[in-house]
């Protein structure tokens, strides 16, 4: 039993399960929005709730494990990554590959039981999820590729409910893409010097910290624009718009913290962005409740 607990602990450390707080609120935002617009009720049933969670968790586990598998050669020399289970030997490459394949299979099987469109889209989604690990080796747009990986969550949520891709889900996706891309640029400031020495294509390593801060701010400004457009497209009300405004304030505070002290990047990265996702869901939920 103790060995099993240690395996679970290592897997949790590998995929950083607590970071699911970034994507899960947005898949549920899409699901309750689609359900309310199409069926007049936010409740879409226990079956889709379970299948939606399984899809989100398996997709994220696949993406994180694949990234660790592909990045072992660049994680190993990086002091910040030296204690990761994929680097220090706690999870061998064979077991890691098995974990990747298992989560890909789970994702595809669950998508099959949702609807035919979800199953068809599941294959290109897996390719996109794996793409981040490749892009960081030759292009600065890797930050936005990572953002797209999480941004697909609201599109997946809409597809699960209505077997279609409405405009509002695309706008919500683009907002999430630039939101994640923006805070990933900030997070990459921690590895600026290492990325330079390793020849990796992060925005901070290519253009410096000042340019990275500006680009991150630009990404987050675009985020707010897309989320306002999402509210307009979905015909949402006051509480949804207020949620977007508060999201903008949280992002402003995030940049304020990082500008003052790069050592607080972890606080800005996880704490504030985690609150943002949950807050955004709550405001959309309350708005749809009074729709």
Q: What does the pLDDT look like over 38-83, one tens digit per residue?
A: 999 999 999 999 999 999 989 988 988 898 888 787 777 777 767 7
Given a contact cutoff of 8 angstroms between Cβ atoms, the answer to whether 143 and 181 are in contact is yes
Q: What is the pLDDT of residue 134?
A: 84
The token pair that represents 46 in the structure block: 């226990």
C-alpha distance from residue 152 to each of 28, 60, 215 (Å): 12, 11, 22
Average pLDDT for the chain? 88
Determine contact, residues 285/32, Cβ cutoff 8 Å.
Answer: yes
In contact, 217 and 178? CB cutoff 8 Å: no
Q: For 270-285, what is each residue's pLDDT tens digit?
A: 678 888 999 999 999 9
256 three-class SS: helix
Each residue's pLDDT tens digit, 111-130: 999 999 999 999 999 999 98
- Of 168, 152, 150, 174, nearest to 240 by C-alpha is 168
Q: What's 272's domain CATH number?
A: 1.10.357.140
Residue 16 has pLDDT above 70, yes or no: no
pLDDT for 70: 86
CA distance 156 to 124: 12
pLDDT at 193: 80
Asked whether residue 268 carries a pLDDT value surpassing 90, the answer given is no
Segment 37-46 long-range contacts (CB within 8 Å, at least 24 positions apart):
37/166, 37/234, 37/235, 38/161, 38/162, 42/285, 42/288, 42/289, 44/160, 44/161
Name the residue range of residue 232's domain. 2-289
Rounded-to-5 percentages of helix, strand, coil across the chain:
85, 0, 15
Torsion region of 105: left, alpha or beta (phi above 0 gives left; psi -120 to 50 gives alpha): alpha
- Give the residue among 20, 153, 136, 13 at the shortest CA–CA distance from 67: 136
% the chain with pLDDT above 70: 89
What pLDDT, on the 0 to 100 scale, is given for residue 196?
Answer: 81
DSSP, residue by residue, 52-73? HHHHHHHHHHHHHHHHHHHTHH
Is 258 or 66 the better-scoring residue by pLDDT? 66
pLDDT per position as a tens digit, 136-191: 788 888 899 999 999 999 999 999 999 999 999 999 999 999 999 999 998 888 87
What is the CB-side half-sphere exposure of residue 187 using CA atoms within 13 A? 17
Q: What confidence category does residue 269 fall into, taking pLDDT thresholds of 50, 70 and 90?
A: low
Q: Of 165, 154, 162, 152, whose CA–CA distance to 122 is shortest? A: 152
Predicted confidence (pLDDT) at residue 4 exceeds the cutoff of 60: no
And the tokens for 128? 């996109």
**Domain total for the chain?**
1
**Euclidean distance between CA atoms 201 and 139, whole angstroms:** 5
User: What is the reported pLDDT for 76?
Assistant: 79
What is the pTM assigned to this prediction?
0.91
CA distances from 252 to 217, 221, 248, 260 (A): 8, 9, 6, 13
Percent of the chain with pLDDT over 90: 58
């Amino acid at each position: 039993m103790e060995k099993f607990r240690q395996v679970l602990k290592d897997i949790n450390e590998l995929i950083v399960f607590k970071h699911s707080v970034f994507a899960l609120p947005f898949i549920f935002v899409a699901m309750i929005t689609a359900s309310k617009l199409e069926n007049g009720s936010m409740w879409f049933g226990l079956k889709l709730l379970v299948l939606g969670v399984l899809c989100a968790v398996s997709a994220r586990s696949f993406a994180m494990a694949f990234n660790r598998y592909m990045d072992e050669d660049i994680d190993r020399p990086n002091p910040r990554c030296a204690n990761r289970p994929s680097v220090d030997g706690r999870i061998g490459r064979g077991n890691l590959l098995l974990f990747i394949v298992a989560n890909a299979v789970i994702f595809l099987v669950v998508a099959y039981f949702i609807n035919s469109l979800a199953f068809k889209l599941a294959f290109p989604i897996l390719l996109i999820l794996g793409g981040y690990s490749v892009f960081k080796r030759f292009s600065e747009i890797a930050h936005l590729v990572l953002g797209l990986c999480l941004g697909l969550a609201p599109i997946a949520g809409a597809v699960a409910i209505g077997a279609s891709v409405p405009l509002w889900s695309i706008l919500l996706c683009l907002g999430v893409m630039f939101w994640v891309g923006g805070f990933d640029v900030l997070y990459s400031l921690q590895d600026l010097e290492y990325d330079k020495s390793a020849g990796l294509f992060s925005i901070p390593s290519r253009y410096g910290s000042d340019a990275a801060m500006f680009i991150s701010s630009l990404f987050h400004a675009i985020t707010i624009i897309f989320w306002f457009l999402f509210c307009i497209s979905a015909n949402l009300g006051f509480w949804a718009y207020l949620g977007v405004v508060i999201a903008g304030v949280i992002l402003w505070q995030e940049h304020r913290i990082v500008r003052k002290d790069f050592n607080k990047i972890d606080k800005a990265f996880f704490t504030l962005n985690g609150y943002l996702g949950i807050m955004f869901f709550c405001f959309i939920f309350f708005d749809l409740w009074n729709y």
